[in-house]
Structure 1
């Protein structure tokens, strides 16, 4: 089929007109921490190094920074290849997966009383009683309230006198249900890791391994989940396209 230039313009205009009408009056919430040297990060990773290659303040014609960072830095995306051999890399995740229906599981009140709290199937059942079945291909975010501790590294890690970290995380039962029964596309959370702190303190990353082994991707260190409704929002997660990339800082926002 041949489409004339005029028809193409009409189709493009129609898409934008429909989208602009849909977005009118909506709220856009940035779910991303601005990254910087000295911020909280996985202990085995080096800190960010940032330098000015050119600087307007020093008399140069423009400013250009050089950033030296690990891929898993700040609010970031983990593709399957982060943990899984032959898993999808960042450049192989299609852009269609970058805008998804958003589900927010809120365990923040329980975390206030118990830093080691994790979601249960009862939380999922209660969500579905309020809002209906979790949509297929959705992004499920775990709201724990942990992002309020950012950028205090000690508060984020929350280690006891024995060096054991006490942070919330996902549970195996909930992740398996979401993947195997609801066919979700991706997950996200406010804490540094998928697994609870007590698990990561003994080098147990089995939940992160599970979710990435299912071909799903995740966003870690989300911000501002407390501003979102439990249901009805859309999430947009974007990142650069490094060939073979195993992780990168992401820009994530919700429309609600």
Structure 2
């Protein structure tokens, strides 16, 4: 095939019958968010009932709002900003690690090396340059703040998160490009309740990026899919709502 038409043919033959699953929550005022952040403010600047010819909204929200991307600068001074993440990283192989059974037994669950061993036993080694998503089904609690944070009477949040041993394996030994998860934070709730965000800092310190508050991972195969993730190109940006889509059979 000649240059200009080759990717068109790939689209028709390879993606024409694919399923596109949205992994993104629609954001709105009043949704669950980090307690220190203000709520979203939204107002209509122009609208049809006012006699205007079109509708325009003004949005006001922090960068880490809803399903969002965290670039290294979010935790690491001098780290890459949103506009410095290359578009070549916005389409990646998608690996889904399913730990829903562990979460059903304990909301404080984190993945172990056994979860990665089991995945690799079925699918082969986690591919370098991939995006690894942690499936917990926690997103089914959205948009209820109380259920998302799942606090005990003493105020401690009981939510699943990543583990250091799994992140070290994926980032340093398998060489994955990015990670994602369904809960609000990288770290489990018992850690964040104590002010410990060490795992998120670790991920971003390795010049990786992540997407938080994913959804619909239960509709995506654990291997063989792609993830398309993108966000506005805010110069020097430290975070922004993202749109993530899984492409799969």
Report the TM-score when normalising by structure 1: 0.95
What are the equivalent positions in structure 2 for 1:9-28 lying under 5 Å apart?
10-28=2-20
Q: Report deviation, 1:127.
A: 0.5
Structure 2 residue runs of 5 or longer lacking an equivalent are none
Aligned length: 248
Instruction: Report what 1:247 is aligned to.
Output: 239
Q: Does 1:212 align with 2:204?
A: yes
Cα distance in 2, alignment partners of residues 82 and 147 from structure 1: 23
Query: Which runs of 4 or more aligned residues in structure 1 lie more than 3 Å from their structure 2 counterparts after TM superposition?
Result: none
2:34 alignment partner in structure 1:
42
Cα distance, 1:100 vs structure 2: 0.4
2:203 pairs with 1:191: no
Deviation per CA, 1:170-228: give whole Å up to 9, x if none: 00000001011100000000000000000000110000000000000000000100001
RMSD value, Cα: 1.0
Report the alpha carbon displacement of residue 13 of structure 1 after superposing the two structures with TM. Answer: 2.3
Deviation, 1:17, is: 1.9
Larger radius of gyration: 1
Q: Which string of whole-angstrom CA distances, capped at 9 and with x for unpartnered residues, describes residues 42-96 of structure 1?
A: 0000000000010113221110000000000000000000000110000000000
2:151 counterpart (159, 166, 170): 159
SS at match of 1:86: coil
Question: Which of 161, 172, 176 matches 1:180?
Answer: 172
1:102 is paired with a residue whose SS is: strand
Q: Structure 1 stretches of 5 or more lacking a match?
A: 1-6
Counterpart in the other structure of 1:99: 91
Hey, what's the Cα distance between the residues in 1 that align with 2:13 and 2:51?
A: 46
Shift of 1:109: 1.4
Q: 1:18 and 1:75 mapped to 2: Cα distance? A: 30
Q: Alpha-carbon deviation of 1:248?
A: 0.2
Deviation, 1:20, is: 2.3
Three-state SS of the structure 2 residue aligned to 1:204 is: coil
Report the Cα distance in structure 1 between the residues aligned to 2:153 and 2:31, rounded to whole angstroms.
22
Q: After TM superposition, give the deviation of residue 112 of structure 1 in Å.
A: 1.2
Paired with 1:182 and 1:67, the residues of 2 have a C-alpha distance of 39
* Counterpart selection for 2:107 from 105, 115, 122: 115
Distance 1:202 1:245 in 2: 27
| Aligned residue among 130, 134, 141 for 1:149 | 141
Return the TM-score normalized by structure 2: 0.98
State the shift of 1:237 in Å. Answer: 0.3
Instruction: Decide which moves more: 30-39 or 104-113.
Output: 104-113
Q: Secondary structure of the residue that 1:207 maps to in structure 2? A: helix
Residue number in structure 2 paired with 1:229: 221
- Cα distance in 2 for residues equivalent to 1:57 and 1:34: 25
- Structure 1 SS opposite 2:226: strand
Match of 1:60 in 2: 52
C-alpha offsets along residues 119-178 of structure 1, whole Å, 9 cap, x if unaligned? Answer: 000100110000000000000000001000000000000000000000000000000010
